Chains A and B, each alone.
Chain A
Amino acid sequence: MKGLGPGFWSVTLLLTVISLVNAWYFLFGSIDWIMPGSTNPVANVTYDIDGLFKFMAVFGGAICIYVTGYVIYFAIAYRARAGEPPDAVGAALHDAPTLEFWWTALPTLLLIVLTGLSIVVWYKIQFGVGSATGLTTEVIGHQFYFEFRYPGLKTSVFSKTEPMHLPLGVPVRVLITSSDVIHQFWVPEIRLKQAAVPGLVQNLNFTPLRSGTFDIVCSEFCGVDHSKMQGKLIIEPVAAFNKWLDGEKQAAAAGGGAVVLTGGTAAAGKALFAQKCAACHQIAPFDQRLVGPGLLHITDDPAHPTLVTGLTPTPDHIAAILQNGFSGPIGTMPNAQANGLAGQDIANLVAYLDSLK
């Protein structure tokens, strides 16, 4: 073998320079056009996730640059030339153990470092907030909108277009589930997403660091209008957030949006069930369905530990279904307005169903 070839070191130098430019760009340039808000992170984990991205863009980019560069250089430098005899062959090189050791060891080392860094960020995302959580909110995916719930509000008062609000600087835990099919709750500028799976409550933890209005996007295909399923997230200072939340609570109280369940009687509920519910539901085991399932042991059925909304069968959650109705692949149930149910009616029905366990 006659050395590595005339231009090898020049090409290596060129590729190294390109790799360094690439590294410099990702480390010191603005990548906001790829990762929006990278220079001014929206949440505490945004910076870490972007850091991992940059780390990989630097080293992964270098691997791509060297491989591409050497493929092109070798193809040109070692091309078959017209004057050579037709039986000319290339160098009889089968192995180069030292070289192979290094091109196995170095990527392995790189991946070990990357794994370590990823684990640090992963831990921060999954467990970093922990007991410091200042606010827990709920997100429920529906075809084709997100519903948001807050502590102190028994049922959602939000229409499909109302934004989610979060307080600045407060560690939040967002509980996520779905009422029908699988959705995904994603805020691109925060860099976090989590699936909204029916029957499963999952969470995302982060601390908002910047005020503003951001897109919420469904990133799991969820049906015909999947591409229209989006919402807005408003991050605002704590005082503004509290003012907004109090306003919503008052509106809920004034509008009768929140149902008070304490005054319900089972006897009144039984009579009402025959009028309003018996067309579709029997007082029978779950599997004896008319249109909807039998409701005999709805609050205490080990085989069906969750409601159709994926929530536990507490009186509040049953009341929410009566209030809001239900619509999903397995059927439709009218809401309180369509069914002609006042707040007291719902309280009576819940008391009745609760008495059947």
Chain B
Amino acid sequence: MHAATGTTHEAHDVHDHIHPPPEGFVRKYVFSLDHKVIGFQYFFTGLLIMLIAGSFAELVRLQLTDPKGAIMSNTAYNEMFSMHGTAMVWLVLIPLVTGALGNFVMPLQIGARDVAFPWLNMVSFWIVPIAAILLFSSMLWGGPHAGWTEYPPVSLLDGTAGALWCAAIFTVGISSTMTGLNFMTTIIMMRAPGMTWTRMPLFVWATFATALMNMMATVALSAAVGALFLQHVFHVPFFDPSRGGSPVLYEHMFWFYSHPAVYIFIIPAFGVISEVVSTFARKPIFGYKMIAFSSMAIAILSFTVWAHHMFPSGLAPWLQLPFMILTYAIGIPTGIKIFSWVATLWGGRIYFSTAMLYALGFLITFTFGGITGIFLASVPVDLHAHGTTFIVAHFHYVVAGGSLMGFLAAIPYWYPKATGRLMSERLGHIGFWLFFIGLNGTFMPMHWLGLEGMPRRYATYEYFAKAFPDAQFWNQFETGFSFLMAASIGLLAFNVLWSIKHGKVAGINPWGARTLEWTIDSPPPYYNFKKIPNVFDRPYDFDQPMPYRNTDNVVAPYPEYGAVVMAQPAGAGA
């Protein structure tokens, strides 16, 4: 209340309104309202579940080293791949790319002190561990068996575990919807003065497109798994054809969410790549407007292509055509983005930081995964490749080679801002090569195995190995390389924890980057910005002075790639 100081009201600074930081462990770190702490909570939850779900994937790979099934029963195998997919999609990728990155980075990049609804944000996060408990507790009842898609009627055989799966996905869907709403409001309402739409950092554009999809698509998923839950528990025959239901209905509702969902994974990674490529090429991003608008084009088109997952699943033939054409259409904005990033590299002054290596790797693997997507969009070719390991390969090139690579670029890039210390570049470089080689070795052979005739979700492949004697060799090959990826993620977890204490002190702006978060202290103070800065241009013009006024710290007009980074041991970062 400023009744007594009414005369000075106009003169006083915005920083008078800064709330005091919370006190006590619980308010600070557990039920925190601070977007940065919530970002950490998402990050560590996601990383922990990634280790669990990744170990499920390794069990799946080990099983396939023998055509008869090497280590477990068919039932256990089916449970493992179902849990791997479900946990990775809903409890790892979505919390990491939207929850962790969006929460930590987006408010800092738009010059805001927090998201629009901090309480909603806190609730959104705490829903995720509840969903995780629901999902993992389903394993006490035998776990889900029908893959991350859980198509009925076969998923109805899962009983209690299936119902718990539905409850977990419904719950995590609430979190996604609320986060989407929160981020949209934040980006629309809380940008710093002068930050017009065309001056927003590209990661913010990506988060905006993602929030739109999160908010609008997730309700369809909630309806699908809600109906499936009612069928599990109360035998309401939504998907039972003998009582007037349709199993194909579930597939439509599921994919109406889950196709946008794969863009929910990938578009934040696009945003990361835009930031990282520009920063480490010391060069303006090529085609800013086209990259920003293509994110929005992809977000909108993503709602119109869901049935390309269902070409041989019960679509009327004529219905296949519009979905094929729209799916091809979505390749155009995606191509524009990739070409723009490659053009950004041209004429740059490129530093091979760990983040940049992951970004370069992303350009190669994501392009490959995108091209195999073009194969699958063609109805006739999809009639052959659908449901095979070709799909598994395509999906993992896009999700592990795209979304996860983008996230792995984001960790070393923003880690110094979050903790005040740099991650070890040497470990980071080793981790990158392990991941990149492991990824290609694991998923490349799946392309030809699938086209030869090996379906996905196969616990054993005896008849296939009889027809194609190489099958066992390639499966063992894949399993071997998959452990390189596992080692890389283990190394990452170690690096994250080790560097909190032992990393080099980063300073305000170790990379010489130009978005707003690099003008404040590392780690940022509770209120982020003491004074809300003014923005008067786009952040990517390396030949121009930094486009901010009224910043908290005195920032160099032409920030340099930091001396701290250059002082790394020889071989790292050079």
Contacts and interface: CB of A to CB of B under 8 A. Distances in A.
Interface of A: 1, 4-5, 33-36, 45, 48-49, 52-53, 56, 60-61, 63-64, 67-68, 70-71, 74-75, 78-80, 82, 84, 86-96, 99-100, 103-104, 107-108, 111, 114-115, 118-119, 121-122, 125-127, 180-182, 184, 186, 188-189, 191-195, 197-200, 202, 215, 217-228, 230, 286, 293, 303-304, 306-308, 310, 328-330
Interface in B232-290: 240-248, 281-284, 286-288, 290
A307 B383 CA distance: 28
Contacts of B383: 49, 125, 191-194
B153 A95 contact: no
A52 B228 CA distance: 38
Interface in B341-378: 342-343, 345-352, 360, 363-364, 367-368, 371-372, 374-375, 378
Contacts of A119: 321, 324
A89 B339 CA distance: 21
Chain B residues touching A, majority SS:
helix
Given A35-B451, A92-B284, A227-B461, A199 B380 contact: no
Given A68-B364, A89-B282, A193-B312, A199 B247 contact: yes
Contact of B467 (A5, A78, A121, A215): A215
Contacts of A286: 243
B197 interface: no
Nearest to B458: A227
Interface in B3-26: none
Interface in B427-466: 447-448, 451-453, 455-463
Contact of B380 (A52, A94, A230): A52
Contact of A184 (B312, B329, B458): B312
B193 interface: no
15 contacts: A35-B452, A52-B381, A70-B346, A90-B348, A92-B541, A93-B347, A96-B286, A100-B339, A104-B335, A119-B324, A184-B312, A191-B380, A219-B386, A220-B313, A227-B74
Contacts of A188: 384, 452-453
A95 B289 CA distance: 9
Contact of B560 (A61, A87, A228): A87
Nearest to B373: A60
A199 B78 CA distance: 25
Nearest to A67: B367
B242 A56 contact: no
Nearest to A66: B342
Contact of A100 (B153, B336, B360, B363): B336
Nearest to A60: B371
A216 to B, nearest CB: 10
A52 B459 CA distance: 31
Contacts of A75: 345, 350, 352, 360
Which one of A71, A88, A89, A293 has the greatest number of beta carbons of chain B within 10 Å? A89
A45 B379 CA distance: 13
A115 B242 contact: no
Contacts of B563: 86
A48 to B, nearest CB: 7
Contact of B374 (A56, A90, A191): A56
Given A49-B380, A118-B324, A329-B153, A199 B347 contact: no
A91 B283 contact: yes
Which one of B157, B541, B543 has the greatest number of beta carbons of chain A within 10 Å? B157
Contacts of A111: 328-329, 331-332, 374
Interface of B: 74-75, 78, 145-147, 151, 153-154, 156-157, 240-248, 281-284, 286-288, 290, 312-314, 317, 320-321, 324-325, 328-329, 331-332, 335-336, 338-340, 342-343, 345-352, 360, 363-364, 367-368, 371-372, 374-375, 378-381, 383-384, 386-388, 447-448, 451-453, 455-463, 467, 541-543, 558, 560-561, 563, 566, 574
Contact of B242 (A35, A86, A198, A219): A198
A47 to B, nearest CB: 11
A120 to B, nearest CB: 9
A330 B374 CA distance: 39
B380 A217 contact: no
Given A60-B375, A70-B345, A182-B313, 18 more contacts: A79-B350, A80-B282, A80-B561, A87-B560, A88-B282, A93-B286, A96-B343, A103-B339, A111-B328, A114-B374, A118-B381, A180-B153, A195-B314, A200-B241, A202-B314, A219-B455, A226-B74, A330-B240
Given A52-B381, A93-B347, A221 B453 contact: no
Given A197-B247, A304-B244, A103 B336 contact: yes
A234 B175 CA distance: 53
Contacts, number: 298
A345 B324 CA distance: 52
A140 to B, nearest CB: 14
Given A90-B281, A115-B325, A202-B314, A78 B241 contact: no
Given A67-B342, A111-B331, A53 B452 contact: no
Contact of B243 (A94, A224, A304): A304
Contact of B313 (A68, A122, A195, A307): A195
Nearest to B563: A86
A52 B332 CA distance: 19
A60 B460 CA distance: 32
Contact of A118 (B74, B352, B380, B461): B380
A36 B377 CA distance: 21
A147 to B, nearest CB: 18
A198 B247 contact: yes
Nearest to A85: B560
A93 B368 CA distance: 27
Contacts of B244: 303-304
A197 B313 contact: yes
A63 B371 contact: yes
Nearest to B335: A107
A197 B152 CA distance: 10
A63 B350 CA distance: 23
A127 B453 CA distance: 25
A297 B499 CA distance: 73
Contacts of A122: 317, 320-321, 324, 379-380
A188 B381 CA distance: 11
A121 B320 CA distance: 13
Nearest to B351: A80
